[in-house]
């Protein structure tokens, strides 16, 4: 049962990764790509959690915590650059 | 589970190579920098799949956070230079 | 055009070497001798559950000391390169104002990020993470503070003091290891403790905390130097 | 699986070298170098991976007694840890030099740097 759930979750997350990647590669404006990047970081956090669940190692979750708390920094950097800040 | 891990590895490797190609031959410099950040991002998940959480955490904190940031800092200081 | 052709020719040569490496690669079925030593002896000898930490801090501690030194040199050279020719005339740079969201959010998030950094290097011997990761996370927190208020000049004196004091203590503990324990950077300075407890693994938590502070201060100093440059 | 990751790492190294060799903008060369850096790290971690084993961290799922048969080689991981941190330092250094170059020349084009050419 849990196995099936993990398979479904991985399929969904992988689809999300591919869709966001398509937008990142194609996206006409920089804003599109930045939003796609943000979506990709969030998808990555859920992928890390799924891997921790599939491998049965709870300690992998630390990596997800670090990502969840730091991932927005890159987006802020681009946003400040685009509005001619710094 | 091994089929799942294999499929995930192939997906991540393809995503990483695509992002690397954009980083190297893309037209716009900010997008290239962002793609390099994306390479680090995907690479850290790959490190986790390769059973090395220490390296994954380092790559998460340094590769995709601080390095991307340093590039945009410098790029913001040199407006106009990115078209050379 | 010739340039591109030459580059592709060179890369084809490198690629052929890589192909040879890739197709003759056979993964080991067993741990090699060094890894077996580490896997068998770490829990009993060092008392750390994270074997990578045991290698980085104790078994190959001298390498880590060298690495921290290289990082210090990098920070110093960045400061030297960027400080040259800096003008102090335009104190108030014209900048786009920081939004309300970023200003308030950073005041809320920066302490949390720094706390996470401390958690990561305090638990370096038990969970993934350690001094280098914790230091990078602390530097990210400093970065958020810098971003929210670009006109604020971070105090270089505080950063330099933290950096030198933690470096001095690191070398001091390493030399104490010669006197009180088995050798330079030996972690048996403090009692080994119970496997898996927060205060265990001898001096490893202490050394990793000092490394974390030092690395965080070095990264922060690089960031502060870069943020004080002027727009060209 | 280790082979796939290793192949991806090798391709990243090649892509990074290609970018560093053909681009003329310094910042683009630095970006290409970071890509190649990531590739090297992936190859090194993939060398240490072993099939069916898990991370070298002991806890209730990997007790001390069967650590020998359950964990992967920890030495490459310790090396890569070092390599990533130093890589970030080198990137910062290259960026600082790029800044100075732009301050002097007002351009990022490497072919405009002709002092030592003859």
Whether the Cβ atoms of residue C197 and residue C49 lie closer than 8 Å to each other: no
Interval C140-157 mean pLDDT: 77
For chain D, domain boundaries = 2-51+70-112
**Averaged pLDDT, D2-13:** 88
B25-34: average pLDDT: 84
- Mean pLDDT in residue range C175-196: 75
To the nearest whole Å, the CA of B6 is away from the closest chain D CA by 6
Which residues are CB-contacts of D66 (< 8 A; sequence separation ≥ 6)? Answer: none
Q: CB contact, 8 Å: B72 with chain A?
A: yes
Contacts of D103 in chain C (CB under 8 A): 85, 232
Lowest mean pLDDT among B55-64, C122-131, C178-187, D76-85: C178-187
What are the percentages of helix, strand and coil residues in chain B, rounded to 5? 85, 0, 15
Q: At residue C94, does pLDDT exceed 70?
A: no
Per the CB < 8 Å rule, is B71 touching D12? no
**What is the per-residue pLDDT for B82?**
61
Give Cα D62 to chain centroid, integer Å: 30
The C-alpha atoms of residue C141 and residue C146 are separated, in whole angstroms, by: 9
Q: What pLDDT score does C181 carry?
A: 73
Which pLDDT does position C80 carry in this prediction?
A: 86
Among B52, B53, B69, beta carbon nearest to C143:
B69
Tell me which residues of chain D, numbers 24 to 43, contact chain B at a CB-CB cutoff of 8 Å: 24-25, 27-28, 30-32, 34-35, 38-39, 41-42
Residues 1-30 of C with CB under 8 A from D: 3-4, 7-8, 10-11, 14-15, 18, 21-22, 25, 27-29
pLDDT for the residue C151: 65
State chain C's mean pLDDT as an integer. 81
* Band of residue A85 on the pLDDT scale cut at 50, 70, 90: low
Using CB atoms, which residue from B56, B72, B77 is nearest to A78?
Answer: B72
Q: How far, in Å, CA of B48 to CA of C19, rounded?
A: 25
Per-residue pLDDT band at D65 (split at 50, 70, 90):
confident
Q: Give the Å distances, CA to CA, from C84 to C160, D74, D76, D90, D99.
A: 19, 43, 39, 19, 12
Domain ranges of chain A: 2-82
Higher pLDDT, C17 or C182: C17
To the nearest whole Å, the CA of A4 is away from the closest chain B CA by 10
Among chain C residues, CA nearest to A61: C128
Average pLDDT over residues C10-28: 87
| In the block, residue with structure tokens 């799924």 | A50
User: Are D38 and B43 in contact, with CB atoms under 8 Å apart?
Assistant: yes
Q: How many structural domains is chain C composed of?
A: 1
Task: Report d(CA C181, CA C215) in Å as an integer.
Answer: 26
Answer whether C183's CB lies under 8 Å from C125's CB: no
Note whether residue C91 is domain-resident. Answer: no
| Chain B residues lying within 8 Å of A75, measured CB to CB | none
Q: Does any domain span residue C90?
A: no
C42 neighbors C54 (Cβ within 8 angstroms): yes
Do B40 and D38 count as a contact with CB atoms less than 8 A apart? yes
- Is the pLDDT at C90 greater than 70, yes or no? no
Q: What are phi and psi of C124, to 5 degrees?
A: -60, -30
C165–chain A nearest CA distance, Å: 27
Q: Which residue has the tokens 């203590």?
A: C169
Interface probe for A, chosen from B60, B61, B81 (most Cβ of A below 10 Å), is: B60
Give D24→chain B minimum CA distance, Å: 8
Q: What sign for the dihedral angle of Cα C161, C167, C168, C170?
A: positive
Average pLDDT, chain A: 85
C71 class by beta-carbon count within 10 Å (0-12 exposed, 13-18 middle, 19+ buried): buried
CA angle C58, C64, C67 (to 5 degrees): 175
- The reply to whether residue D81 touches residue C25, judged by beta carbons under 8 angstroms, is no
Chain A interface disruption, residue of D52, D55, D95, D99, most A CBs within 10 A: D55
Of residues B39, B10, B8, the one with CA closest to residue B22 = B39
- Look at D22 and C27; give whichever has higher pLDDT: D22
D67 and B CB contact within 8 Å: no
Kindly write down the DSSP assignment for every residue of A17-84, as one continuous string. Answer: HHHHHHHHHH-SSHHHHHHHHHHHHHHHHHHHHHHHHHHT-GGGHHHHHHHHHHTHHHHHHHHHHHTT
A23 interfaces chain B, CB cutoff of 8 Å: no
Q: Is C147 contained in some domain?
A: yes
Q: Does domain D2-51+70-112 have CATH number 1.10.287.3510?
A: yes
Distance CA D79, CA D84 (A): 9
**C191 CA to chain B: closest CA distance, Å?**
25
Query: In which band, very low, low, confident or very high, does the pLDDT at D42 lie, cut at 50, 70 and 90?
Result: very high
Provide the chain C residues 61-120 that lie in CB contact (below 8 A) with chain D. Answer: 63-64, 67, 70-71, 74-75, 77-78, 81-82, 84-85
Rounded mean pLDDT of A24-38?
85
Label residue D40 by pLDDT band (50, 70, 90): very high
pLDDT in tens, C104-144: 888 888 888 889 888 888 888 888 888 888 898 988 888 88
Nearest residue, CB atoms, B75 vs list A6, A74, A81 = A81
Token pair listed for C77? 């050279």
Chains touching D, CB cut-off 8 Å, 3+ pairs = A, B, C
Place of tokens 């330099």: C160
- Domain span at C131: 2-84+96-227
For residue C74, what are the CA distances in angstroms to B68, B83, C232, D95?
A: 18, 29, 23, 12
Q: Which of C70 and C153 is assigned the larger pLDDT? A: C70
Give me the pLDDT at residue C89, please.
Answer: 45
- The neighbours of chain B, by the rule of 3 or more Cβ pairs under 8 Å, are A, C, D
User: What number of CA atoms fall less than 13 Å from residue C151's CA on the CB side?
Assistant: 10
Q: Is the pLDDT confidence value at C92 over 60? A: no
Query: What pLDDT does residue A86 have?
Result: 56
Indicate whether C42 pLDDT > 80.
no
Which residue in chain B has the smallest CA separation from A69?
Answer: B61
Angstrom distance (rounded) from CA A1 to CA D52: 22
Q: Do C96 and A76 touch (CB under 8 A)?
A: no
């Amino acid at each position: 049962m849990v196995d099936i759930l993990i398979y479904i979750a991985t399929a969904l997350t992988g689809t999300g990764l591919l869709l966001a990647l398509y937008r990142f590669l194609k996206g006409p404006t920089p804003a599109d790509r930045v939003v796609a990047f943000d979506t990709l970081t969030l998808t990555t956090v859920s992928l890390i959690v799924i891997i921790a669940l599939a491998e049965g190692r709870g300690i992998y979750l630390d990596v997800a915590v670090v990502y969840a708390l730091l991932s927005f920094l890159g987006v802020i950097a681009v946003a400040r650059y685009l509005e001619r800040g710094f | 589970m091994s089929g799942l891990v294999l499929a995930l590895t192939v997906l991540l490797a393809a995503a990483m190579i695509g992002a690397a190609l954009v980083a190297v031959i893309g037209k716009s410099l900010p997008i290239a920098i962002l793609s390099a950040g994306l390479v680090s991002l995907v690479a850290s998940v790959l490190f986790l799949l390769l059973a090395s959480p220490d390296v994954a955490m380092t790559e998460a904190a340094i590769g995709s956070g601080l390095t991307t940031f340093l590039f945009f800092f410098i790029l913001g200081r040199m407006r106009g230079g990115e078209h050379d | 055009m010739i340039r591109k052709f030459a580059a592709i020719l060179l890369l084809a040569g490198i690629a052929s070497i890589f192909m040879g490496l890739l197709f003759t690669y056979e993964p080991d079925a067993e741990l090699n001798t060094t890894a077996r030593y580490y896997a068998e002896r770490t829990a009993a000898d060092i008392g750390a559950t994270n074997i990578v930490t045991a290698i980085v801090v104790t078994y190959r501690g001298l390498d880590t000391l060298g690495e921290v030194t290289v990082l210090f040199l990098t920070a110093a050279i960045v400061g030297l390169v960027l400080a040259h020719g800096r003008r102090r005339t335009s104190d108030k740079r014209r900048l786009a104002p920081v939004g309300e969201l970023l200003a308030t959010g950073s005041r809320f998030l920066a302490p949390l990020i720094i706390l996470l950094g401390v958690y990561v290097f305090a638990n370096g011997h038990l969970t993934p993470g350690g001094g280098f990761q914790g230091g990078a996370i602390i530097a990210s927190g400093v970065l958020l503070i810098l971003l929210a208020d670009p006109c604020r000049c971070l105090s270089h004196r505080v950063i330099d003091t933290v950096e030198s004091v933690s470096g001095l203590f690191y070398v001091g503990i390493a030399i104490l290891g010669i006197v009180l324990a088995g050798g330079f950077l030996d972690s048996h300075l403090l009692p080994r403790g119970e496997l898996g407890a927060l205060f265990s693994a001898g001096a490893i938590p202490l050394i990793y905390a000092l490394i974390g502070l030092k690395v965080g201060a070095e990264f922060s100093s690089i960031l502060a130097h870069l943020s004080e440059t002027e727009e060209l | 699986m280790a082979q796939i990751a290793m192949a991806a790492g090798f391709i990243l190294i090649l892509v990074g070298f290609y970018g560093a060799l053909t681009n003329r903008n310094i910042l683009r060369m630095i970006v290409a170098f970071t890509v190649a850096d990531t590739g090297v790290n992936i190859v090194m971690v993939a060398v240490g991976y072993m099939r069916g084993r898990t991370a070298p961290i002991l806890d209730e799922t990997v007790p001390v007694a069967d650590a020998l048969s359950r964990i992967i080689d920890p030495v490459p991981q310790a090396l890569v840890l070092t390599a990533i941190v130093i890589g970030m330092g080198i990137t910062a250094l290259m960026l600082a030099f790029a800044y100075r170059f732009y301050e002097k020349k007002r351009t990022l084009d490497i072919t405009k740097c002709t002092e030592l050419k003859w």
